[in-house]
Amino acid sequence: MKQRYDIEKILTRLPHRYPFLLVDRVLALTPGEKIRALKNVTINEPFFQGHFPGRPVMPGVLIIEGMVQAGGLLLMESESPEIALRLCFSGVDQVRFRAPVIPGDQLIFDVEMVKKRSRMVKMSAAAFVDKRCVAEAKLMALIGGKS
């Protein structure tokens, strides 16, 4: 079953808030399998003031963070919303940045579950602008003890 979320539902799931909430909408979600989420990138983002004056480029670490937040939403829908209290991002591998992300772009985050074993989760993530891959990474998360 594919699901869609608007920003109001995202705010009930993720603990992040401005300026660190990096998912604006969930376009499609299949619990236990994959998620497609969206981030509208605007010149109003606070990081553009210093990164870089005269040539604004979204920091790569924030693109990765958007992927992680999308992955967190996938895990919450696959397990339970309460997992957010016990979820810990634990690693990132094989990161590649393929093109800059600039104001006016719309980032699409595609995250897929690769493996879930006990408390460890591995996901494959990619970010796209206009169907062009701008970044990709392998993400890892740990599900902690009881909340």
Question: 23: pLDDT confidence band, cut at 50, 70 and 90?
Answer: very high
Q: What is the pLDDT of residue 103?
A: 98
Tens digits of per-residue pLDDT, 102-118? 999 999 999 999 999 98
Give a yes or no: residue 97 inside a domain: yes
- When divided into structural domains, the chain yields a total of 1
For the chain, the residue count is 147
Q: Which residue has the higher pLDDT, 68 or 86?
A: 68
Q: What is the pLDDT of residue 98?
A: 98
Give a yes or no: residue 58 inside a domain: yes
Q: What angle do CA 105, 103, 49 make, to 5 degrees?
A: 155
- DSSP class per residue in 48-76: GGTS-TTS----HHHHHHHHHHHHHHHHH
Q: What is the pLDDT of residue 145?
A: 59
**Alpha-carbon distances of 138 from 19, 94, 104, 111, rounded to whole Å:** 24, 6, 26, 9
Task: Pick the closest to residue 79 from 118, 52, 106, 130 (CA basis).
Answer: 118
**Alpha-carbon distances of 74 from 5, 13, 93, 132, rounded to whole Å:** 11, 10, 19, 23
pLDDT at residue 1 tops 80: no
Give a yes or no: residue 2 inside a domain: no
51 is an active site residue: yes
Rounded to an integer, what distance in angstroms lies between the CA atom of residue 34 and that of residue 36? 7
Instruction: Quote the pTM value.
Output: 0.93
Q: Residue 137 sits in a domain of what CATH number?
A: 3.10.129.10
Give a yes or no: residue 36 inside a domain: yes
Which domain range does residue 96 map to?
7-143
Give a yes or no: residue 86 inside a domain: yes
Give a yes or no: residue 15 inside a domain: yes
Write down the catalytic residue from 51, 86, 116, 138.
51
Give a yes or no: residue 1 inside a domain: no
Q: What angle do CA 67, 71, 51 make, to 5 degrees?
A: 20
